[in-house]
Structure 1
Amino acid sequence: MEKSFEEKEGQPVNRFQWFLFVIAIPALFAIVVALVVLSFAGINVFQTASELGEKIPFVSKMLNEDEQPSVEEYEKNIISLEAEIQDNEAKMEQLEAKIESKDMEAERLELEKTQLEAQIEELTAIQEDNKRAFKDIVKTYETMSAKKAAPIIAEMENEEALKILTNIKAESLAAIMEKLPSDVAAKYTELLTNESSKQMP
């Protein structure tokens, strides 16, 4: 009974050993010998197998998936990326130039603004000086006797005379008008009337 059990237990081992020694090892040996012989004959077995594999649809797909990019493809990718980097750098330079140009424009406008403000201040100061000077002139005519002021007014241009006559006190104006020749007094009376009508709403 024990012997038959051992025989039954040893049968699968014997079959595996038989497969190993009779089929597997000789087949592997035959493949190795074939590879050696073909390589000595100058046939690149792996390249031939790859070419045959490309013709078979399923195998070619697997080969293409496993295939790594070539050095040329890497070089092309590097050149493409370098070109992209240069393009981006050129765009950045253009943007920087635009920013610089806008900064310069802003500085120029700021300088112009400062200059204009200085001119306004200067003109305002001149205007204030002119106002003070004109007030002084008016005061001079008000303090001057009508007998002396009238001939000077008569010799003036209409616009200048009118400026003084419209700004002096009413008493001084009346006194000067009395001393002016009648035709000149009439002319200035008309001009003063027109001027006052312009100022009325």
Structure 2
Amino acid sequence: MAKKKKAAYADREEGKGYGVFQWIIFMIVIPLLFALLVTLIVMTVAGINVLEKAKELPVISQIMDEESADNGKENNERVALLKEEAKQKDVKIQELEKELEQSKREVEELLTEKDRLELEIQKMKEQEKEKEEKKAQDRSIISTYESMSPKNVANILVNLTDDEAVEILSEMSTDQQADILEKLPPETAAKYTGLLSGSS
């Protein structure tokens, strides 16, 4: 019976068959990690900064120095790139500011030109209005002269300036002009006829 038990136990052991790798993990690595974790916790509770102490070790400090040197080199390159980008952006900003100033000047010039043109339009409207008023006034004067006899009109025209006389005559019909010119002295009639033909 003892032989049977030994044989059954041996069969069971062969079925389990722990390998060397499993044995190393279970017997060495896991207990070592557990011990390391417990040590870290105890040291942290005791107030010891484990990372500072680790930096004091020559191998770890050398690795950290190499990493910081690599990081410093990368950071310096990155800083140089960022400075170059900042310079380019400053140049672009200055160009845009110049364009903005130029645009502001152009807008001011256009607004000044607009104001000047509006003033000119206003003056032209006022002049046109004055001309219309003068025409209406002249029309009423002309209608007065048209209602008068040609002899009376001729006597009045002789006392006016040549321009005024020609202006009055030019507003009248050709029949009325002929009647008035007949009543004028011949040299005056000739002068007014010449001025009338020149004005028309």
Range into which the TM-score falls when normalised by the shorter chain = 0.5 to 0.7
TM-score (norm 2): 0.56
Could you list the per-position Cα deviations for residues 5-58 of structure 1 after superposition, in whole angstroms to 9, with x for gaps in the alignment? xxxxxxxx9xxxxxxxxxxxxxxxxxxxxxxxxx99xxx998xxx9xxxxxxxx
Moved over 4 A (4+): none
Q: Aligned residue for 2:103?
A: 99
Asked if residue 126 in structure 1 is aligned to residue 130 in structure 2, the reply is yes
Amino acid at match of 2:89: I
Distance 2:140 2:115 in 1: 37
Name the SS for the 2:122 alignment partner: helix
Q: Aligned residue for 1:31?
A: none
2:90 to 77, 86, 91: 86
1:71 CA drift (Å) = 4.1
1:116 CA drift (Å) = 2.3
Asked if residue 179 in structure 1 is aligned to residue 186 in structure 2, the reply is no
Asked if residue 159 in structure 1 is aligned to residue 128 in structure 2, the reply is no
Distance 2:190 2:93 in 1: 83
TM-score (norm 1): 0.56
Distance 2:79 2:119 in 1: 59
Distance 1:181 1:140 in 2: 22
Distance 1:153 1:178 in 2: 13
Q: 1:98 to 1:131 in 2, by over 3 A?
A: same
Amino acid at match of 2:82: I
Q: Aligned residue for 1:109?
A: 113
Paired residues, number: 162
Distance 1:129 1:87 in 2: 63
Distance 2:92 2:186 in 1: 88
- 5+ residue gaps, structure 1: 1-12, 14-38, 51-66
Q: 1:45 to 1:174 in 2, by over 3 A?
A: closer
Distance 1:190 1:79 in 2: 87
Q: Which moved more, 1:118-127 or 1:100-109?
A: 100-109
Q: 1:88 to 1:188 in 2, by over 3 A?
A: closer
Aligned sequence identity (%)? 24
Say whether the 8 Å CA contact 1:142–1:169 is kept in structure 2.
Answer: no
Distance 2:146 2:62 in 1: 127
Distance 2:128 2:155 in 1: 33
Q: Aligned residue for 1:147?
A: 151
Q: 1:86 to 1:151 in 2, by over 3 A?
A: same
Could you list the per-position Cα deviations for residues 160-198 of structure 1 after superposition, in whole angstroms to 9, with x for gaps in the alignment? 222222221344323322322232223334444x348x5
Distance 2:165 2:182 in 1: 15
Say whether the 8 Å CA contact 1:153–1:161 is kept in structure 2.
Answer: yes
